[in-house]
Structure 1
Amino acid sequence: MFTNFKSIVCVVLFLVSIGAQSKKLKISSGLKWSNCGPPTDPIKLTYLDVTPFPLTIPGIETLSAIVNIARNISSPVEASVTIKKHSFLGWIEIPCVDNIGSCHYDDLCALSPYNDQCPTVFKKLQLPCACPVNEGMYSVKKYPVNIAKIGPHWLEHGMYKGQVTLTSNSVELGCIAFQAALK
Structure 2
Amino acid sequence: MSALARECVYEDLDLKRGVHGKIDDLCKDDVLIASAASAPIPSLISQNLRHKNRFIVCHPVKNRPQDPSKTFDKKCVSVKTPVILNQDFDRVFILKVAILLLKIVVFSEAAFTWKDCVPSTTAHPYVTFTSMSLSPSPVMFPGNVTVGIQATVHHHFGSDVKIRVHMDKLLLGQWTNVPCNNNFGSCNYDNPCEFFSAYKIMETCPAQFAAHGLPCTCPFNPTTINLPPSVFVEPHIDPKWSFILTGKFRVKVEMIHGGDIVGCFEIELGTTHPGGFLAFR
Q: TM-score, normalised by structure 2?
A: 0.50
C-alpha distance in structure 1 between counterparts of 2:205 and 2:194, whole Å:
17
Which of the residues 156, 172, 180 maps onto 1:88? 172
| Structure 2 residue aligned with 1:133 | 220
C-alpha distance in structure 1 between counterparts of 2:267 and 2:217, whole Å:
25
C-alpha distance in structure 2 between counterparts of 1:173 and 1:118, whole Å:
27
C-alpha distance in structure 1 between counterparts of 2:248 and 2:173, whole Å:
13
Matched, 1:172 2:258: no
| Structure 1 residue aligned with 2:205 | 119
Matched, 1:36 2:117: yes
Rg larger for: 2
| Structure 1 residue aligned with 2:182 | 98
**Contact (CA 8 Å) 1:74, 1:109: kept in 2 or not?**
yes
Which of the residues 216, 222, 232 maps onto 1:145? 232
Go from structure 1 to structure 2 and tell me whether the alpha carbon gap of 1:119 and 1:176 turns closer, same or farther (over 3 Å shift): closer
Which structure has greater helix proportion? 2
Shift of 1:74: 2.4
Shift of 1:179: 1.4
C-alpha distance in structure 1 between counterparts of 2:206 and 2:216, whole Å:
10
Q: Which runs of 5+ in 2 are unaligned?
A: 1-109, 273-281
CA root-mean-square deviation:
2.1
Go from structure 1 to structure 2 and tell me whether the alpha carbon gap of 1:76 and 1:42 turns closer, same or farther (over 3 Å shift): closer
C-alpha distance in structure 1 between counterparts of 2:158 and 2:135, whole Å:
32
**Contact (CA 8 Å) 1:75, 1:168: kept in 2 or not?**
no
C-alpha distance in structure 2 between counterparts of 1:176 and 1:65, whole Å:
12
Which of the residues 135, 159, 163 maps onto 2:252? 163
3-state DSSP of counterpart to 2:183: coil
Shift of 1:174: 0.8
Go from structure 1 to structure 2 and tell me whether the alpha carbon gap of 1:106 and 1:120 turns closer, same or farther (over 3 Å shift): closer
Shift of 1:154: 1.5
Measured against aligned partners, the alpha-carbon deviations of 1:6-47 in whole angstroms (never above 9, x if no partner) come to xxxxxxxxxxxxxxxxxxxxxxx9212112222442311112
Q: TM-score, normalised by structure 1?
A: 0.75
**Contact (CA 8 Å) 1:45, 1:68: kept in 2 or not?**
yes
Work out the percentage of aligned pairs sharing the same amino acid: 24
C-alpha distance in structure 2 between counterparts of 1:105 and 1:167, whole Å:
10
Q: Which runs of 5+ in 1 are unaligned?
A: 1-28
Higher relative contact order (CA 8 A, sep 6+): 1
3-state DSSP of counterpart to 1:173: strand
Measured against aligned partners, the alpha-carbon deviations of 1:54-90 in whole angstroms (never above 9, x if no partner) come to 2112211111111111122222221111111111272
Shift of 1:170: 2.8
Bigger drift between 130-139 and 120-129 goes to 120-129
**Contact (CA 8 Å) 2:114, 2:132: kept in 1 or not?**
no
3-state DSSP of counterpart to 1:113: helix
Measured against aligned partners, the alpha-carbon deviations of 1:91-122 in whole angstroms (never above 9, x if no partner) come to 22112111111111001124422335123624
